Amino acid sequence: MTAKTDLPENLKIAEGGSHLDQVKMKELTSDRFPHVRMRRLRGSDALRDLVRENHVRKEDLIYPIFVEENADEPQDISSLPGVRRETEKSLSTTVKEAAAAGVKSIILFGVSHHKDHTGSDSFDPNGLLARMIDISKQAAPDIAVIADVCFCEYTDHGHCGVINDHGDVDNDRTLENLGMQAVVAAEAGADIIAPSSMMDGQVMGIRHALDVTGFSHIPVMAYAAKFASVYYGPFRDAAGCSLGHMDHVRKDRKTYQMDPANGREALREAALDEAEGADILMVKPGLPYLDVIASIRQHSKLPLAAYQVSGEFAMMKFAAQAGALNYDEALMESLIAFKRAGTDMILTYGSLDACRILSENG
């Protein structure tokens, strides 16, 4: 009897091996190579499609759109290739094109020309926030319009709320304004309210304001874990909400946005928002915080969103321009990473590109 030659060296049975030795060998090989070969289900497109665990669908995508007040022409954003500031006139066409491509949801960000210390234009029923929601709903009534409820685009200092005597955001004074802003958005036709200012109690305050004004049916998408991230840079160019131009005001948002080092704190934030009445939770940014997404997914049954923020998107675009990677493939790989981590929906500037790729791939 010769040793079996089709097994690894450490699994070969020497000549004269006992029946017990053969049983042990069988046990060793019953759940591993060569009997188990993971490549068997990777041999063709059909097999790979059959066993794929996660999928990106057009319905999962939320398309962010910037709208500049009093602008004559759409304006490209140099730090965010492929994205532009729409005008109020061009917004309608852009929303219709997004709907035709298969996008089911958009989120709107205004670039105000009527900024003041409190961002009051955003809770004016005739202000930019209300107008761009109305334009979008008129253009595509079936599309879900998400209103970003915050003040950074509408304040002259660029912070996300009312400034106190210490140059920082006054949490509780800001809550009242957020409630007014949310009601104005709902009255204009918003389908979802998404508060991004990271004020303590903002979900509860907005939920109450909506409920008492007859909008108890409008859901709240909470920016539950929004980190003080460097990846927002291109967004601030696009939305015109950079800090640092007022001496008496803080130069960062670290007192209200989360420390990137803290994962357990993100779970607390998400749990608080859920308890306050949030209908959807969000993590922002996305790829650098996949662990946070996965952790929140394990602790909450609410729908979960991730925001692939401007810096993440810009890195792919600039890397593709330099020939370092294929943009289409990088985009879809990043989106499936969000789904694998547990998200149900993804906010991405690549929504139209993803819809095109999904259509091309059948």
Find, among 139, 149, 223, 212, the residue nearest to 184 by Cα: 149
**Do residues 274 and 299 touch, judged by C-beta distance below 8 A?**
no
| Residues designated catalytic | 226, 284
Q: What share of the chain is helix, strand, coil (3-state, %, to 5)?
A: 45, 15, 40
Q: What are the residues whose beta carbons fall under 8 Å from the beta carbon of 26, sequence distance 6 or more?
A: none
Find, among 14, 19, 86, 106, the residue nearest to 352 by Cα: 106
Report residue 336 as tokens.
Answer: 């499936």
DSSP secondary structure, 291-306, as one string? HHHHHHHHH--S-EEE
**The amino acid at 165:** D
The angle, 0 to 180 degrees and rounded to 10, between the axes of the packed helices 290-299 and 327-341 is 30
